[in-house]
Amino acid sequence: MKLGRLNHIGVVTPSIVESVAHYRETMGATATTEPFDLPAQGVKVCFVDTPDAHGEVGKGTQIELIEPLGEDSPIHKFLEKNPLGGQHHVCFEVEDIAEARSWFEGQGKRILGPTRTGAHGTPIFFLHPKDMMGQLTEIMETPRGDGH
């Protein structure tokens, strides 16, 4: 397997509205997406675009803001420990999700649940932080030119 792009880092927040204000007003972000619900994962998410090395906004690694959705959201536990929020996961792109899944399985890494559709509309899965040097790691198939 070849290390892909760091598509985004996932950051938990008690309030997407407050986080978006923080990124826009304090950090100077110019592009943030509308928040949307991912009920299957018990979260509401929104993305902050950053520039790449050429200054092109939207081509850099994104910040995924994650707020709990519903009472059973897995994010509540994170916020109990970190009431202000904080870094939650990293997400790397791969060319082929099935190939990547086999690769990590072959390495004896624990995969958390089935491959499913992620926030960018492409298939994703998560790897157990205890098998990934302490980092909850999302693997996602690279979105194609049409945004998927």
CB 136 → a copy of itself: shortest distance, Å? 9
Contact status: 59 vs a copy of itself (CB under 8 A): yes
Listed residue (39, 54, 15, 51) closest to 119, CA to CA: 39
Please list every residue from 6 through 35 that binds a copy of itself, using CB under 8 A.
6, 9, 11-13, 18-19, 22-23, 26-30
Pick 27 or 98: Cβ nearer a copy of itself: 27
Q: At 102, which helix (H) or strand (E)?
A: helix 97-106
Give the interface segment with a copy of itself, choosing from 35-43, 46-54, 69-77, 111-119 (CB under 8 A).
46-54
Q: What is the dihedral of CA 78, 94, 112, 15, to 10 degrees?
A: 20
60 touches a copy of itself (CB under 8 A): yes
Sign of the torsion angle spanned by Cα atoms 4, 118, 35, 40: negative
Instruction: Look up 95 and say whether it is catalytic.
Output: no
